[in-house]
Amino acid sequence: MRVVVVGGGISGLVAAYRLRTALGPELELVLLERRDRVGGILHTGEMAGEPVDLGAEAFVGRRPEIPALLAELDLSEQLVHPAGRRPLIWSGGTAHPLPERTLMGIPAGPEAVAGLVDADTLERITTEPTRPLRWERGGDVTVAELVGDRFGAQVVRRSVDPLLGGVYAGRAESIGVRAALPTLAAALDAGAPNLTRAVADALPPPSTAPVFGGLRDGYRVLLDALREAAAPKVETDTAATGLTRTATGWRVDPIGAVDAVILATPAPVTATLLGAVAPAAAAVAATIELSSSAVVALGLPADTPLPDNSGILVATGESLRAKAFTLSSRKWPHFAERDVALVRASFGRFGDDTPLSWSDEDLVAAAVADLSTVTGLPIRPQTALVQRWRGGLPQYAAGHTTRIAELESAVAALPGLAIAGAYLHGVGVPACAASGTAAAQRILSR
Ligand SMILES: Cc1cc2nc3c(=O)[nH]c(=O)nc-3n(C[C@H](O)[C@H](O)[C@H](O)COP(=O)(O)OP(=O)(O)OC[C@H]3O[C@@H](n4cnc5c(N)ncnc54)[C@H](O)[C@@H]3O)c2cc1C
């Protein structure tokens, strides 16, 4: 059997690994990757001789996929957890603690956002349960529509946007409730009479388990192990340019005939490749928009007195150019031991990718100036790395889950074809890994 996986990000690598594990050495497996390296948005650089992730740097700890993969690949000793410090929100020119017990920044009562929003907004949240809520069961709206209407714009701009900016490089206007907050949609579908009640119903029970996990030596350890275990023929610098059906299987340009194909490419590329074989599915994939971001990793003197917080998220509308800072040396115990203090600054939100056109020098200068503003410290980097992620994150717009169901059912009608990737069932690394596993299972079930 000859199978090609198109796209060497985590989704494609996990799919390749699952195929190899199931089919053994007989499988002829090709991994096509447009860039000169595999990993996609997982990319580990080096600073002062130590690994530093320049794309994703963590994963949601309560999902099982990454710890399970690490265990399978004998890498469990790589698993690390944050020190437990909390982030700040920069709003109105000052730093506030990140509200506790919210659902993606949506509070279940006024006390969670006291100090972050004004008195009128607190009153509006307090009285929200007295106002009738209109929610169409099974329907969807943007997070901005729902939260703005019930709790007001300040909650959207100061509490919700900073978190959506972190996950999707998005904003409350570009993200739908049902895909981003499925438990909230479920609570509303179940008849919660107001948003306050729906959030309370949707919040997970309090837990002391770490929210995030990471890899001590960066994601490259996982990428290398997956690639070695999957043992595909890796064709880097090679973009798939066409997909057609043949009498017995598929043809992928430029590599030729194969029995099965997994497309683990970003949504617009998947749309183009599906164009000739599944036009309806292609049309759906083409509607998914992307946001772009840039990451600047700053190496500061180890004794820089950074705030005792894991990061600083910036509210929408502030005069800063950065949208967030991860204070890696405070967030992760293993970074605290290093000779440089590491801070990652992030730029770019959906609809505004201008920072990506700035020079490296300008991005570093903006990161330094903004970090100095939010910490009140003179910031003197000893070293810096810049990484741009153009179109790095799909936006889960209102109606996303319905569109993805249509897309997947159209692809399911085509034997020997499967799709995986960040635009399907979650942008996080665990969800992408799960999508790779599901795509491989689909091919294997043939
Ligand atoms: C800055 C940033 C920070 C993030 N931080 C986190 C985090 O901390 N935790 C977390 O869980 N998630 C995070 N994410 C999200 C997560 O990293 C991504 O959603 C995930 O890595 C995407 O994996 P993927 O394999 O689906 O897609 P990609 O990594 O985009 O891989 C797709 C691959 O397909 C290749 N390709 C494209 N076209 C073709 C073609 N025609 N032929 C062949 N190959 C092609 C691309 O070059 C790419 O390598 C972050 C994302 C960004 C942008």
Q: pLDDT by residue (tens digit) across 213-268?
A: 999 999 999 999 999 999 999 999 999 999 999 999 999 999 999 999 999 999 99
Query: Going by CA atoms, what residue is nearest to atom 30 of ligand 1?
Result: 40
Whether the CB of 58 sits within 6 Å of ligand 1: yes
The average pLDDT across 355-364 equals: 97
Position 446 pLDDT exceeds 90: no
On the CB side of 294, CA atoms within 13 Å amount to 26
Instruction: Quote the tokens at residue 82.
Output: 């944050």
- Which residues, listed in sequence order, are joined to residue 212 by a DSSP beta bridge? 60
Contacting residues for 156 by C-beta, under 8 A, at least 6 apart: 143, 144, 147, 148, 172, 316
Question: For residue 208, what pLDDT is reported?
Answer: 84
Q: Which of 43, 81, 265 to mutate to test the pocket of ligand 1 (most atoms within 8 A of CB)?
A: 265
- C-alpha span between 422 and 400 (Å, rounded): 13
User: What is the CA 16 to chain-centroid distance, rounded?
Assistant: 21
Residue type for position 196: T
363-413: pLDDT as tens digits = 999 999 999 999 999 999 999 999 999 999 999 999 999 999 999 999 999
Ligand 1 centre distance from Cα of residue 440 (Å): 18
Position 286 pLDDT exceeds 90: yes
Query: How large a percentage of the chain has pLDDT more than 90?
Result: 97
- CA of 405: how far to CAs of 181, 283, 285, 401, in Å? 17, 13, 11, 6
Ligand 1 centre distance from Cα of residue 9 (Å): 5
Question: For residue 376, what pLDDT is reported?
Answer: 97
Whether the CB of 166 sits within 6 Å of ligand 1: no
Residue type for position 259: D
* 398-437: burial string, b at 16+ Cβ within 10 Å, e else: bbbbbbbeebbebbeeeebbbbbbbbbbbbbbbbbbbbbb
Position 24 pLDDT exceeds 90: yes
- H and E: helices and strands count for the chain: 17, 22
Give the chain's mean pLDDT: 97
Whether the CB of 243 sits within 6 Å of ligand 1: no
The average pLDDT across 182-192 equals: 98
Position 197 pLDDT exceeds 90: yes
Closest of 57, 10, 21, 20 to residue 265, by C-alpha: 10
Ligand 1 centre distance from Cα of residue 372 (Å): 30
Question: For residue 62, what pLDDT is reported?
Answer: 87
144-169: pLDDT as tens digits = 999 999 999 999 999 999 999 999 99
Question: For residue 273, what pLDDT is reported?
Answer: 98
